[in-house]
A and B are shown apart, each in its own frame.
Chain A
């Protein structure tokens, strides 16, 4: 299949979106250290090409499912920084009205179900949503994000197999960031690539450079077209790395400094920036402008979130059942 041609506007949009993911996470990190955010956070610095490459290949009516590390997925899908920030601040204006928190951000209206924070738990939901798309004759697909750690939980097998036998319009997107919390993938998996497991379900599997946003985008266009055509799911593995620890308190001592440094050389944003500069799609002056506009967007989001009302304590009691 021929590669989809990316226009300069699309490339700039992907760059902008990746930068928004990164700068959002950096601001959130400091807000957290300053004690201004409750709860815990699982950050995604370094994985922006995966989130943005996948979501840039989706249509407006498509859906994504996400994980306990969902901030970049949400931003890439177009959930507003404002409603995300408000949710992290536990405010009524948050995308889940303060009932979700960092691990459950999402907005079905924007094409993202609330993130599922039980590892692997989102896979059958994604398959089920895809079943509804097909049954209702909607031309849409689901992109299901999960980590390589989730490839070892039983429901991965059940969900991928069920989607495969029914040719459901879903793309299983494995973000292989090499560590399940502190456990290295080599210790818990004998196959080299998660995508090899696709053979067990009779579906295509592919491993690509998850730190190259255009490579990710092209792989998703291919898998997405297949799903839209009724040819069933693909297991797409994106090789990537998280620069941050697993969660708020993790300094990452289980990783060698050389390994981290080597992956930082492959920073998806720095790489793409250099490429776009070389292609003259991006001018240095424009870079400064984009950064400034993101700074402003985030400043505004934080200022508004801080001023926004908290939910009332007794709001705890609502939304358990639909009436």
Chain B
């Protein structure tokens, strides 16, 4: 669905503009009201007089649902993940979170060896319906609070990976993830939260979006073409969807029409939407905030090479962070994070590329 089409249909529905934080909170609230088995686990998420998790997503939920459903944990990421997996095996639907995605490395054994594999190891008898929310993205916090980690989890069979770019998708995807029978790692970008007040992120985008009052779900595994175009395909997730949109607007003023595909989830991945777009535009750039080497865009490039090589009129290009830790100094961080300008420059280069004999 194009953005114009969704805007038209939204005007007819009841709803309101929400930030990402409000949309995520609404998803948690609705699912907790719908299903008693949904519980939350995390650090600082339900403390009275506290701040509702590192980015206020769970604010007010312990007051509504009680501390037996909003469990404040010690600083124990491995146990948060393992306890969530055990509770999921035991019949609950835990939604756990880490304050920063970087802390997922502390929970890696429980996520990658237990949650992801128990269904397989049991010969299909068990399932592990848990959601693990994790904020990612460089935000002048330096090397240990700013990484983008999607590729690590996309690589583990048995884990699903969601990475929404806007409030509508965030709410619909989180509700679907909570109802999914499998472990879902749910990435949220810190600059997209749009949270108000003390926790407002410097440099954050004022991303709000129309969210209908009526209940809806967004399925895992369906990409969305957020801007149609004929000349080149930009495939992105999270914050990079917004950078790609900015680039597309700049390019449009120069007569270049970029199609922007928001992948929305990495596992399952909507290959067909990407392939169809590439076959139409014949050019592809994948934009991600992760480090270049081994990023999820490499997988997209490889699959496109396999399925669409005959349709390509230019080499597949990837725009990603360099292979360095996330730097602190804003001047370096701005260099590190892919920018709309970099995307524009790459698009101009590729659109000027003519088909080679081997293509």
Contacts and interface: CB of A to CB of B under 8 A. Distances in A.
Interface stretch (A92-100, A189-197, A264-272): A92-100
Contact of A114 (B86, B118, B127, B160): B118
B119 A124 contact: no
A128 B41 CA distance: 11
Given A96-B123, A159-B79, A320 B157 contact: yes
Interface string B125-162: 11101000000000000000000000000000110100
Interface residues of B, number: 41
B121 interface: yes
B83 A128 contact: yes
Nearest to A127: B83
B90 A106 contact: no
Contacts of A123: 79, 82
Interface in A108-157: 108-109, 113-114, 116, 118, 121, 123-133, 135-136, 154-155
B109 A155 contact: yes
Contact of A124 (B92, B110, B121, B123): B110
A322 interface: yes
A124 B78 contact: yes
Contacts of B39: 135
B121 A100 contact: yes
B68 interface: yes
A127 B123 contact: no
Interface in A11-63: 63
B182 A124 contact: no
A323 B123 CA distance: 14
B83 to A, nearest CB: 4
Contacts of A127: 79, 82-83, 86
Contacts, number: 151
B91 A124 contact: no
A132 B82 contact: no
A99 B117 CA distance: 10
B121 A129 contact: no
A321 B120 CA distance: 8
Nearest to B94: A128
A185 B79 CA distance: 25
A98 B123 contact: yes
B79 A155 contact: yes
Given A108-B126, A128-B86, A321 B78 contact: no
B122 interface: yes
B248 interface: no
A96 B82 contact: no
A212 to B, nearest CB: 30
A116 B68 CA distance: 28
Contacts of B81: 124
B123 A100 contact: yes
B88 interface: yes
A135 B41 CA distance: 13
Contact of B78 (A94, A97, A155, A318): A155
Nearest to B116: A320
A132 B68 contact: no
B87 A129 contact: yes
Interface string B209-235: 000000000000000000000000000
A128 B122 contact: no
A308 to B, nearest CB: 14
A104 B129 CA distance: 20
Interface of B: 39, 68, 71, 73-74, 76, 78-79, 81-92, 94, 109-110, 113-114, 118-127, 129, 157-158, 160, 181-182
